[in-house]
Structure 1
């Protein structure tokens, strides 16, 4: 793979911008439309972009793990709905910060599900990351029952969404052992669109013209973000450009500030830095292990020994 750090970083930062923008649109529509309806249109209008990605390597739907795709889609759908619920009620920057706990939950879930033994550095990163969550909670008075215009449960749902997102990532890892990334993405898009279409007649709320345009844009932005992210990780190593995924906090803060008048507090900034710092630390800690694995694989290939 050709390693183009500048291109990969720019593409990934652009992907996070479109993700922040679609969350802002979900926030706008979430006050009048059901979360399930918004999620349906997000999947429906992003489907053409998924097909575009898949067409480059070949559209393959054949699978021996259909049940795995169904389970992955159900969990992913729950995560999407949780995002709509939380962005509707929380400031965009705060929801974005709490979503960055996903790598921390990945470490915790890897123990029972993948039987991994996290290193000491990973445990330190997890402690730092969750200390950032505590700082954000203290800033909102959630730990001592202070009154707030935002319901406390919304923060817990946002934090739980990080865990559900981590479970989704883990399921993708397990499926990718036998399935191509395009097959996984295709089944996800098809199944999520179908699952959200089934209950639609029972919860349907007719959107006005503005909401309808926002729903189209939500799906389009989700698809564009996926294309940009795919291109980013095809351009450079994940460990090198991974930290640029956290630029989403900047976009969320700016859109929240200028679009909704949401000014980030000091506790949110400090907590966000702790959470992001722990994620970057884990990315950097993974790099030597990956380089060692590549070096060992190259040596094995040169000597004819199976890795």
Structure 2
């Protein structure tokens, strides 16, 4: 694989920008529209972009593990719902920071699900990362029951989304043993669209013109982000450009500040540095042989988040 660090980094930073934009739009629409309706349009309008990615190789829907795709899509759908719920109620930057706990949960879940034995370095990184979560919680007074405008459960949902996102990544790794990454991506987009379309007649809320435009943009931005991520990890080694994925915090903070008047506090910034630092440490410690796995994970998940 050709290694172009500058191109890969720029593409990945651009991908995180579009992810931050779609989260902002989900925040806008989440207060008036059901989460499942938002996710339906997100998957529907991102499907053409998934097809663009798949067309680079061979579009294959034939699968040896349809049940695995269904299970992966169900858990992925739960993760997306948790993102919409949390991003609607939390400041964008704080939701983004808590989504970065996914690598930490990945280490923990790898023990019972993949029978791995994490190194001492990884355990130290996990401890540092979760200490960052505590710092964020202390800054909001959550551990003392004094969260002002934001309910404590919203923070717990954002944190739990990191665990669910890690579980999704585990399933991707298992599916990757027999399935191509493009096959996983296609089935994810198709199944999630069908799953969210089924309850629409019972929860449908007719969006206003502004909301409708936001819904189309959410799907388009999700698709664009996925294309950019795919190109980024096809341009450079994962271990080299992976840290640039954390630029999403900068975009989330800026959009939250200028778009929603959400000014990040010192505790959020300090906790974010601890969480991101632990993730970068683990990423830098990855062996080159693991890069393809990480690439396939990125091909099939956009937030991570995740988003």
TM-score by length of 2: 0.94
Equivalent runs, 1:175-254 vs 2, <5 Å: 175-254=175-254
Equivalent runs, 1:39-58 vs 2, <5 Å: 39-58=39-58
Gaps of 5+ in 1: 292-307
**Secondary structure in 2 aligned to 1:286?**
coil
Shift of the 177–150 alpha-carbon distance from structure 1 to 2, 3 Å rule, reads same
Do 2:239 and 2:288's aligned partners in 1 also have CA atoms closer than 8 Å?
no
1:117 and 2:120 aligned: no
Aligned residues: 291
Partner of 1:59: 59
TM-score by length of 1: 0.94
- The CA distance in 1 between the partners of 2:147 and 2:84, in whole Å, is 23
Partner of 2:278: 278
- How far 1:148 sits from its partner (Å)? 1.1
Equivalent runs, 1:1-307 vs 2, <5 Å: 1-287=1-287
- The CA distance in 2 between the partners of 1:165 and 1:236, in whole Å, is 24
Give the CA RMSD over aligned residues.
Answer: 1.0
- The CA distance in 2 between the partners of 1:79 and 1:241, in whole Å, is 25
**Secondary structure in 2 aligned to 1:56?**
coil
Do 2:100 and 2:162's aligned partners in 1 also have CA atoms closer than 8 Å?
yes
Shift of the 69–290 alpha-carbon distance from structure 1 to 2, 3 Å rule, reads closer
- How far 1:93 sits from its partner (Å)? 0.0
- The CA distance in 2 between the partners of 1:197 and 1:290, in whole Å, is 36
- How far 1:150 sits from its partner (Å)? 0.3
Shift of the 232–91 alpha-carbon distance from structure 1 to 2, 3 Å rule, reads same
- The CA distance in 2 between the partners of 1:141 and 1:147, in whole Å, is 5
**Secondary structure in 1 aligned to 2:184?**
helix
- How far 1:224 sits from its partner (Å)? 0.2
- How far 1:163 sits from its partner (Å)? 0.2
- 1:207-228 CA deviation, whole Å, 9 max, x = no partner? 0000000000000000000000
- How far 1:129 sits from its partner (Å)? 0.1
